[in-house]
């Protein structure tokens, strides 16, 4: 483990007005994520699960490719959210279109033809038999982080469908539809917490940090050496695993005892916010021993799986 304290000279960034604030995901996100899962899987302690998630990501991409156009927020609502610093597609207030369940149906149907363990196929069958009301209730719990009543086996499938739906809505609207939020640690698109962050995103300044939404995969700028949960700049520490290349670090905050993983793309340009987060759960275990809690979820990891 290594620890870094304070603000370093290379952390100084360009004035906010010169920085692209929000970056929406590409429409090929899930196919690229599937490739990353397959790259990370061989020889990994979670090899079987990472291989499974690659299959899920392939199904997500297929569902996204055939997703229908949906009603969008009217220009007045868009302007109001930009003016008042509100997420336009807020997970707490945006009325989910039932098309998200059609996306789930598509994903599950594709997976019935995959070479998956019997227990996984039984979970798929069980989800296919659930009522619309049951699925909506489960979706609501996932989106609010209330996973106590959500089965660890069912979580990845429903979360996958919700990701497809929100990515579809976000990319259909375009970056100009979204403004900055008053609370800088929440996604400006949907108001979700980040699952991780990236340093060196696809911008002119390779030193910028972008937080990565755990739901819609949008990225938004937040200055470095600042807690994404409480926005404190005091007591910020960085941890890595001994023997690693420091491509993934955990940034912790002493004020609120939270942490968020940061992926340094200069070490590996192919890293994925969700896949590489899951592939470094040993770092989460280290942070748990340090008494720190995750500042945002990975929707493919249920606390009951730990």
Sequence ranges of the domains in the chain: 2-22+180-305, 28-177
Gap between the Cα atoms of 211 and 221, Å rounded: 6
Second-level CATH architecture of 28-177 = Alpha-Beta Complex (3.90)
CATH class of the structural domain 2-22+180-305: alpha beta
pTM for the whole structure: 0.93
Average pLDDT over the chain, rounded to whole?
92
> What pLDDT, in 10s, does the model give residues 125-172?
999 999 999 999 999 999 999 999 999 999 999 999 999 999 999 999
Gap between the Cα atoms of 211 and 199, Å rounded: 9
> What pLDDT, in 10s, does the model give residues 167-204?
999 999 999 999 999 889 999 999 999 999 999 865 55
Dihedral over Cα of 92, 95, 99, 102: its sign? positive
**Per-residue model confidence (pLDDT) at position 4:** 40
**Per-residue model confidence (pLDDT) at position 205:** 65
**Per-residue model confidence (pLDDT) at position 10:** 39
Gap between the Cα atoms of 55 and 51, Å rounded: 7
Quick check: do 2-22+180-305 and 28-177 share a fold? yes
Torsion of CA 125, 121, 304, 32, to 10 degrees: -110
**Per-residue model confidence (pLDDT) at position 14:** 54
* Eight-state DSSP code of residue 228: T
The helix, strand and coil proportions of the chain, stated in percent and rounded to the nearest 5, come to 40, 15, 45
């Amino acid at each position: 483990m290594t620890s870094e304290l304070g603000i370093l000279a290379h952390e100084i960034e360009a004035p906010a007005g010169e920085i692209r604030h929000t970056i929406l995901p590409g429409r090929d996100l899930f196919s690229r994520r599937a490739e990353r899962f397959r790259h990370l899987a061989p020889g990994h302690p979670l090899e079987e699960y990472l291989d499974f998630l690659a299959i899920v990501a392939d199904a997500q991409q297929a569902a996204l490719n055939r997703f229908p156009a949906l009603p969008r927020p009217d220009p007045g609502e868009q302007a109001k959210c930009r003016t008042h610093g509100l997420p336009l597609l807020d997970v707490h207030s945006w009325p989910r279109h039932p098309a998200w369940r059609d996306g789930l149906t598509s994903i599950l149907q594709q997976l019935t033809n995959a070479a998956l363990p019997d227990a996984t196929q039984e979970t798929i069958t069980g989800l296919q038999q659930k009522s619309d009301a049951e699925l909506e209730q489960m979706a609501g719990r996932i989106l609010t982080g209330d996973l106590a009543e959500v089965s660890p086996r069912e979580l990845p499938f429903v979360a996958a469908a919700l990701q497809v739906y929100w990515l579809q809505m976000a990319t259909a609207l375009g970056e100009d539809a979204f403004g900055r939020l008053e609370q800088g640690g929440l996604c400006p698109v949907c108001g979700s917490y980040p699952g991780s962050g990236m340093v060196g995103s696809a911008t002119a300044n390779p030193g910028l940090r972008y937080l990565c939404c755990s739901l819609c995969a949008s990225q938004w700028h937040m200055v470095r050496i600042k807690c994404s949960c409480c926005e404190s700049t005091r007591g910020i520490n960085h941890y890595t695993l001994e023997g690693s290349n420091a491509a993934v670090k955990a940034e912790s905050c002493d004020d609120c005892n939270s942490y968020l993983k940061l992926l340094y793309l200069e070490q590996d340009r192919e890293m994925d916010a969700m896949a590489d987060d899951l592939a470094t759960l040993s770092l989460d275990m280290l942070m748990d021993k340090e008494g720190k809690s995750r500042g945002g979820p990975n929707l493919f990891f249920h606390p009951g799986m730990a």
